Structure 1
Amino acid sequence: MSFFESLPARWAALRSVLPRLVQRPERLVSLHSLAWLLAALPLALLLYAVALVPFTPGISDIRKAKTEQPAQLMSADGKLLAEYRWANREWVALDQISPHVVNALIATEDHRFYSHWGLDWRRTASSVVLTLHGDPQGGSTITQQLARNLFPEEIGRSRTLTRKLKEAITALKIEATYSKDEILETYLNTVPFLYNAYGIEMAARTYFDKSADKLNVLESATLIGMLKGTAYYNPVLNPERAKARRNTVLSQMLKRGKLEQKQFDVLQKRPLRVNFERQTEVMGPAPHFAMQLRKQLIDWADANGYNLYADGLVIRSTIDSRLQNFANQAVARQGRQLQDVADKAWARRDGWGPGNALVQTLVRESAEYRAALDKGTPPDEALHSLLADATFMHKLRLEKTRVQAGFLAQNPVNGHVLAWVGSRDFGIDPYDHVAAARRQPGSTFKPFVYGAAFAQGASPTDALMDSAVEIPLGGGRVWRPTDGRAPSDEPMTLADGLAYSKNTITAQVMQQVGPARVADVARALGVRQSPLEEVPSLALGTSPVTLKEMITAYSSIVNLGRYVEPVLITRIEDKSGKVLATFAQSTPEPVFDARAAQTLRNTMRGAVDRGTATAIRSRYGIQADVAGKTGTTQDNTDGWFILMNARVVAGAWAGFNDGRITLRSDYWGQGARSALPMVGEFMQQGLRAKVINGNERFVDEFDVQPPADISLGSMRDWIRGLFGGGGSPSAPPARPPGTLPPVTTDDAPPLPAAPMTSPRPLVPLTPAMPAQEWGGG
């Protein structure tokens, strides 16, 4: 009688014994009772396993990875931008995998693979005995390993009986449904191999620069050997361990008849000969844009019953692939130019020398320094040792002085994002300098100051004195903004103050309109995620913001005070082209006085025509109707430039991830020379290719009459009066050129609320600064 046939009798006997054991518990210690308990254990284990069956994963789709269709992100002009995949994997059929791989795998991991049904009872029993004797051994078959790899959350990885039972049940279910070759193919295509390589094909490319069908015996044994512990037997970082493990695999192949003794004797002496090349996931021409969308797309797919990675969705974006390409080229070219400047500046002894206090600070912040302290090395000794380590110092310098950049272009009318470059190289630095990085905008913030003044009735022809300014901050502190050169002590119009980015003029405007009003204007126009400190120095851009916020705010200026939410995608389709969701085009929201916005926009032409951004005309030959603003922060840490056109607003930022690092150049550090070339080249190429219409002009909705001309003579009369000259105090001019309209409730109506917001989810239409001097723009 078999074990299963005897189960009813055993259960009946156990039921008759249990009452007596309860009444006389001392019998539990008898040999007879112990024998009965041991006999009942298999039944209890079986019943427990049966109870776990509903809690094990379904295995109808173990090969789904082979047929998965990742979502495709498309540009507005029909070009593929990115694919959203589970992992960096390329599925290959079993007959496209070297037989040496299969032989090595079966010989090492599961030599009775073709003769069992998912569980190898002899191997399991052997592993239990060895483990009880203090030598932990794995007894899992290839099928069990596949179950664990495919369903890590449902099965788990803890060393418990429940986990092993779930693993065994799932393995039996897999074996009952799929052939041995299908199981092998799935296993080899899903197992991870470090360095973002999943499956044997990507592993072959990563470690040996060849396809899986070209792997020889040694290479196959090396990769299969890694499966015991990919990090421990990593052939790149731990070659000696990897070679020893490879030879263990070769010995198993010899033992199982897959190698001859002569082959083994020769092969085990050979070096690894790894040809390592990291396989980076191909992210396409707009990787930061794709990453920005990923979470929102996952949320949308989950809410609507789709799988972003498997259901073949097609996402239609607003990106123009031609403009994206121009942006990528412009950022790459200017990035190389700036990097050359940085390399020369920091390679000098007075730059990256051991005596530089900043360099010492950077060393103290390094992982190597912390590791030395953890080992008990005294701080001073650790610092001096690392400062003397040429290899470490060179690596640290390259890391810290790597120039970074961000670029964004947007259609101001409908909010469509046209080009998005988050860094110079996504593979090296995936940090997004468009939507994530907050940097001080410098003088690109000044238009909000002048906009606030224009909204209160000021005119571009109003004049203020270009003289030294002292603004009390309270507590004995005084803010003295300067322009890097002595003031002219001559009157200057607001239009020229903005065009030439004069800090002295801007500070006086800020003093009259007030920091709170300027902050309100910036928030209303589009700076809605970053907090703004309402202090006088806000006028010169001391509160960090994102490039995306600034481009949105400048778009609102082009739109004459109407805010448009940036749009990234227009619709989502299924793999057959059926439209699943259409996303609303942003509705312009009036947030700022339209006349004031028109005045500001037109005034900002001055920076391009005669001010700090004339290179747009002279160097890049752009004759289109454009306006813009440069920006440079303290010590040339950040360089900005934003250019406005009727249909394109484009802006760039240049600097370093660490704000303490600069280009160490007063020339190259200015926004007009660090950031402007990226925008200038982008616009130039867009116009040449006729992707951007050079005939588009800003549209004036109001006939704004300029105020009566104020002659130089009357200015001088006013200035003389200011310092005690003639003039009747009883009959002052209505608004002399040295003042702006007073701030009153009537003159400054409240702006529409612009609260701090987070990025909006995808909703379809269907189903105080201390006293300091600050650089100019």
Structure 2
Amino acid sequence: MCVVQQSPRSQALWARIQPLWQRLRTWRWQWLVALPALGLLYVLVLIPLTPSISDIRKAKLEQPAQVLTADGKELAIFKRSNRQWVTLGQVAPAVIDALIATEDHRFYDHFGMDLRRTASSIFYSLQGDLQGGSTLTQQLARNLYPEEIGRSASLNRKLKEAVTAFKIEALYSKDEILETYLNTVPFLYNAWGIEMAARTYFDKSAAKLSVIEAATLVGMLKGTSYYNPVRNPERAVERRNTVLSQMAKREVLSQADFLRLKKQPLRLNFERQEAPSGMAPHFAQQVRKWLIDWADSEGYNIYADGLVVHTTLDARMQSMATQAVRNHTKALQSIANTNWSKSDGWRNDNPLVQSMVRESSTFAALREKGQSAPDALQALLKDKAFMQQLRQDKTRIEAGFVAMDPDTASVRAWVGSRDFAVDAYDHVQQARRQPGSTFKPFVYGAALQDGLSPDDERVDTAVEIKLAGGEVWRPSDAGAPSGKRMTLRDALAYSKNTITAQLVQEVGPAAVAKLARNLGVRSSHLDAVPALALGASPVTLLDMTNAYGSLVRGGQYRSPLIVTRIEDRNGKLLAQFAPHAAQKAMDLQDSYALIDMLRGVVDKGTARDIRRRWGIKDDVAGKTGTTQNNADGWFILMHPQLVAGAWAGFNDARITLRSDYWGQGARSALPMVGDFTSRALRSKDIDRHVRFTEPESSQWWANLKEGVRHRLTAWWGDDIQPTASQPARKTVPAALPQPEPVPVHPAEPAQEVIEESTPALPAPSAPEPVPPADELDVWMNQWSGPAAEPASSTDYEATPPAVLGRPLNKP
């Protein structure tokens, strides 16, 4: 016999624990009573933490928010899901029989929780055979309130589910519970509820479902993805037959019918149910995000409280914008298809094409299966269907368009992409791309703030700016520098990079960035480096258009406005929203002077097609923009009553139109704005006769500044006059601060510093410089399909991304 000798320390510890252990043994019967009491107490605590009775009522009486345009047209309905509510009488009896027989055959005998089934589920689960014990009412509670109840496999979740089920049983009749369940259960492919499921998988209403079709849909409820009849037909048939056997077991289906039906094949008539996108789906998404925040703060539910939301969008202008984008991007797509044909740019030996193949999810899947990188690449390059789909996705022209009322900053039209169903990515508010020369007005605006006037001159000469790390930035234009003097007004009209670079040295990149932010470029990071002057920092189209709108408001910034008022279902006003308070961003005289300079862009500069091609003779001003290799085309136009901006390009900035003619902002983005604006003028949505209002004191201020300059010249001599080599106001620091690098998209290699080009200028001695007429302008106005490109262009401008990296693209 072996005796274990305890150490003195162990003996002392046991001496302390033994009395407590003896006491617990005497309390064993008390614990049998205390544990259920504690459980009951915990359940009582959970009651106020689970969905309230009023919430459950709202789930059944759901009234989604209705969103209207400014002129009363329906824009969107904010449903919780894509479903159509049907009554039990509108559902085939076979569906109800299959559901109860399979999911909860004692449904009419319990009060929300089946204790026998729960005990059985616990017994088998403890033996390793996991089984579900939830009743239909418990499943309904989980489906209606996934966030409040949760989906984790825990006792706490099951108790919350049970408490909510008891509440539902106390409020609803059994038929109401069945009806709510069948109308809220998800069936994949954006189909919620039995009606949308019937239409999706069998192209018929729920009332016309056969027994075998009903069994198929009910069988999916065990696991919609696993038993998906579209992707996993064999599993779906097996599960369907299980449902049929349960129906036979519960005697709602005869044995003979069961034996006959289980041999039937799976006959689907599948059609994906797309949620209606409406006239402005990207704008509606922005309204939804804003409305959710507002409703949460005010105690409303956008899916159940029947809110009526009035927005700023104009239905007629939205239609004009959509048509303008559709028409022009269709023409650009023809050019892209030609330039990226299999015989031209889209070749298997093209390193860019091979790089895109390696970046695809299909390539990654082959690598995961064990294929080597070279073998996977070659396999996909030979896969015609894959390569065709990749080319279609990568070379699809995309666009963004937004129009705003400059007085209130109200959004009037918003087109986020060519087709929301194909690409839901929003190129107005989400996408950040380099703006090219559309950023130059902020440089000239900073120069005006610094005391320069539009008629001051600079010499068109080569510029070299040293950057950190020993790099040198040499911005240039299409032609060699003329060495002649040019007014700032003409330099902006012709988008002269050399003079813009001189100005950013004089005023400093930080001043340019500050002005851009003050005017409205607030949601994007701006790097205060010299290349910022030519549009190196990616920005959004919404920010840029609103910033131009700030100029029309006399240098006053307002946040964009999208909602004007909210009413309840009975028309009672719940909230009203005035335009956001204006913030002074720029002096009134300077903002008007900058608009006057931008008039020259459409009168004689890079945007003169606004007048020549689109026949707009009204008082307008604007700016084009084009980035490196024509990856991005921009144009923003200002009218006293409307500001409109457009962007055109590809989601992947490495893909371009491969055309120095069609890739320019003047020909890729400007036609969308020109088409829209000309339609708005013809329809009298904006007034043809209104003009930008010149500040009353502007002439007085200009005369004062000129008088001070003459007086200073008389005192100090001619040295006070500004020259290209000697700025009049300040000296440039020897070393400009460098920002943190902008993140480069993984798919985009680093780029060298490049040069930007501008239209060729006439001889400086001419009384009014006018670029030579493009010999293809007349032909272009009548163009309706791809054609040979001209050998050269007079309206070319490109932006150096250079040291700051490429644009940030669609993730």
TM-score range, shorter chain: 0.7 to 0.9
- Aligned-partner SS, 1:182: helix
Amino acid at match of 1:415: A
Determine which of 431, 440, 458 is the counterpart of 2:425.
Answer: 431
Residue 604 of structure 1 aligns to a residue whose secondary structure is helix
- The equivalent of 1:95 in structure 2 is 89
* Residue 400 of structure 2 corresponds to residue 403 of structure 1: no
The answer on 1:538 being equivalent to 2:520 is no
**Compared CA separation, residues 305 and 144, structure 1 to 2 (3 A):** closer
TM-aligned CA distance change 1:311 to 1:60, over 3 Å = closer
1:379 to 352, 362, 373: 373
CA shift, 1:631, in A, is 0.5
Instruction: Output one character per residue of 1:228-281: Cα deviation in whole Å (capped at 9) or x when no partner.
Output: 000101112112211221222222223333334454344333332323333233
Is the Cα contact below 8 Å between 1:632 and 1:639 reproduced in 2?
Answer: yes
Match of 1:309 in 2: 303
Secondary structure in 2 matching 1:335:
helix
Structure 1 range deviating more: 362-371 or 121-130: 121-130
Q: 1:342 to 1:208 in 2, by over 3 A?
A: farther
Q: Which runs of 5+ in 1 are unaligned?
A: 1-18, 709-729, 746-767
Q: How far is the alpha carbon of 1:328 from its aligned partner?
A: 1.7
Q: Which amino acid aligns with 1:375?
A: K
Match of residue 624, structure 2, among 626, 630, 634: 630
Report SS of the residue matched to 2:400: strand
Query: Could you tell me whether the CA contact under 8 Å between 1:458 and 1:740 is conserved in 2?
Result: no
Structure 1 position 704 matched with structure 2 position 699: yes
- Cα deviations by residue, 1:681-737 (Å, 9 ceiling, x for unpaired): 1112211221122222111114538999xxxxxxxxxxxxxxxxxxxxx97586377
* Aligned-pair CA distance for 1:583: 2.2
Whole-angstrom distance in 1 between the partners of 2:132 and 2:74: 45
Measured in 2, the distance between the counterparts of 1:576 and 1:375 equals 60
Q: How does 1:364-375 map to 2 (within 5 A)?
A: 364-375=358-369
Q: Hey, what does 1:492 align to over in structure 2? A: 486
Structure 1 residue aligned with 2:597 = 603
Does the Cα contact within 8 Å between 2:479 and 2:757 map onto a contact in 1? no
> Tell me, what secondary structure is at the counterpart of 1:622?
coil
Deviation at 1:79, TM superposition (A): 1.8
Aligned with residue 319 of structure 1, among 305, 313, 321: 313
Question: In the TM superposition, what whole-angstrom CA distance separates every residue of 1:162-186 from its partner, at most 9, and x where no partner exists?
Answer: 4444434443443343222111101
- C-alpha contact (below 8 Å) 2:720/2:728 kept by paired residues: no
Which residue number in structure 2 is paired with residue 245 of structure 1?
239
Partners of 2:506 and 2:730 within 8 A in 1:
no
Structure 2 residue matching 1:77: 3-state secondary structure: coil
SS of corresponding position for 1:273? coil
Contact conserved, 1:70 with 1:313, CA < 8 A, in 2?
yes
More displaced stretch, 219-228 vs 427-436? 427-436
Measured in 2, the distance between the counterparts of 1:546 and 1:441 equals 8
1:53 and 1:166 in contact (8 A); partners too: no
Change (3 A) 1:26 1:687: closer
**Cα distance in structure 1, aligned partners of 2:203 and 2:509:** 60
- Aligned partner of 1:553 among 504, 525, 547: 547
Change (3 A) 1:217 1:688: farther
* 1:650 and 2:644 matched: yes
Report the alpha carbon displacement of residue 452 of structure 1 after superposing the two structures with TM: 2.4
Q: 1:146 to 1:198 in 2, by over 3 A?
A: same
Tell me by how many angstroms 1:325 deviates. Answer: 1.6
1:382 alignment partner AA: A
Question: What's the counterpart of residue 291 of structure 2?
Answer: 297
* TM-aligned CA deviation for residue 59 of structure 1: 4.6
Q: 1:259 to 1:549 in 2, by over 3 A?
A: same
Query: Match for residue 111 of structure 2?
Result: 117
Q: Is the 1:21–1:27 contact (alpha carbons within 8 Å) kept by the matching residues of 2?
A: no
d(CA) in 2 for partners of 1:587, 1:733:
44
In structure 2, the partner of 1:682 is 676
Cα distance in 2 for partners of 1:339, 1:85 equals 35
- Provide Cα deviations, 1:474-495, integer angstroms capped at 9, x if missing partner: 5543222222344445443332
Instruction: Say if 1:484 and 1:213 are closer, same or farther in 2 by CA, change over 3 A.
Output: farther
Deviations 1:82-126 (A, max 9, x none): 222222222111111122211221222122323333344444444
CA deviations over 1:346-402 (Å, ceiling 9, x no partner): 232442223222222222222222233333333333333233322222222222222
SS where residue 340 of structure 2 aligns? helix
Question: Aligned pair in 2 of structure 1 residues 772, 21: CA closer, same or farther (>3 Å)?
Answer: closer
Matched, 1:479 2:473: yes
- Give the 5 Å matches for 1:18-29: 23=22
Residue 729 of structure 2 is aligned with which of 743, 766, 771?
743
Q: Provide the secondary structure at the position in 1 that maps to 2:309.
A: strand
- C-alpha change, 1:152 and 1:454, in structure 2 (3 Å) is closer
Aligned with 2:685 (options 683, 687, 691):
691
Residues 1:55 and 2:49 are matched in the alignment: no
Kindly provide the amino acid, as one letter, of the partner of residue 283 in structure 2. F
TM-score where L is the length of structure 1: 0.84
Q: Distance in 2 between matches of 1:431 and 1:41?
A: 60
Aligned residues: CA RMSD: 3.1
Judged with a 3 Å threshold, the aligned counterparts in structure 2 of structure 1 residues 272 and 473 are, in CA distance, closer, same or farther, namely same
Deviation at 1:621, TM superposition (A): 1.9
For residue 628 of structure 1, give the secondary structure of its aligned residue in structure 2.
Answer: strand
Is the counterpart of residue 585 in structure 1 residue 571 in structure 2?
Answer: no
Query: What's the CA shift for 1:73?
Result: 2.2
Q: Using the alignment, how far apart are the partners of 1:473 and 1:48 within structure 2?
A: 71
In the superposition, the TM-score normalised over structure 2's length comes to 0.81
- 1:132 CA displacement: 4.2
Question: Where do 5+ consecutive residues of structure 2 fail to align?
Answer: 1-17, 704-715, 732-749, 759-796, 798-811
Pair 1:203 & 2:197 matched: yes
Query: Is the CA contact 1:537–1:769 (under 8 Å) kept in the aligned structure 2?
Result: no
Query: Structure 1: which amino acid aligns with 2:416?
Result: G
Alpha-carbon shift at residue 740 of structure 1 (Å): 8.1
Identify the residue that residue 7 of structure 1 maps to in structure 2. none
The CA deviation at 1:41 is 5.7
Q: 1:217 to 1:664 in 2, by over 3 A?
A: farther
Distance 1:43 1:124, change over 3 A: farther
Q: How far apart are the structure 2 equivalents of 1:772 and 1:363? A: 28
1:743 and 1:531 map into 2 onto residues whose CA distance is 28
Q: For residues 159 and 590 of structure 2, what CA distance do their matches in structure 1 show? A: 73
Structure 1 stretch 610-619 or stretch 629-638: which is displaced more? 610-619
1:217 is aligned, of 211, 214, 237, to 211
User: How many pairs were matched up?
Assistant: 708
Partner-residue secondary structure (3-state), 1:408: strand
- Report if the CA contact (8 A) 2:473-2:753 is conserved: yes
Pair 649,740 (structure 1): closer, same or farther in 2 beyond 3 Å: farther
Q: Is the 8 A contact 1:327 1:682 kept in 2?
A: yes
Distance in structure 2 (CA, Å) of the matches to 1:203 and 1:184: 16
Aligned match of 2:756: 774
Counterpart CA distance in 1 for 2:22 and 2:451 is: 99
**Which SS does the other structure have where 2:688 is aligned?**
coil
CA distance in 2 between partners of 1:240 and 1:211 (Å):
25
Return the offset for 1:597. Answer: 1.8
Distance 1:271 1:615, change over 3 A: farther
* Aligned pair partner of 1:507 in 501, 504, 526: 501
Residue 387 of structure 2 corresponds to residue 393 of structure 1: yes
Question: Does structure 1 conserve the Cα–Cα contact (< 8 Å) formed by 2:46 and 2:163?
Answer: no
In structure 2, do the counterparts of structure 1 residues 517 and 155 end up closer, same or farther at CA, with 3 Å as the change threshold? closer
Matched, 1:181 2:175: yes
Residues 59, 144 of structure 2: 8 Å contact kept: no
| CA distance, structure 2, for counterparts of residue 534 and residue 112 of structure 1 | 71
Whether the 8 Å CA contact 1:535–1:769 is kept in 2: the answer is no
Secondary structure of the residue that 1:347 maps to in structure 2?
coil
**More deviation, 576-585/95-104:** 576-585
User: Quick one: distance in 2 between partners of 1:566 and 1:481?
Assistant: 34
Q: Percent identity?
A: 60
- The 3 A distance-change label for structure 1 pair 734 and 176 is closer
Amino acid at match of 1:77: D
Name the CA distance, whole Å, in 2 between partners of 1:99 and 1:142.
17
Matched, 1:441 2:427: no
| Residue equivalent to 2:8 | none
CA–CA distance in structure 2, aligned partners of residues 484 and 532 of structure 1: 27
Instruction: Say whether residues 1:659 and 2:645 are aligned partners.
Output: no
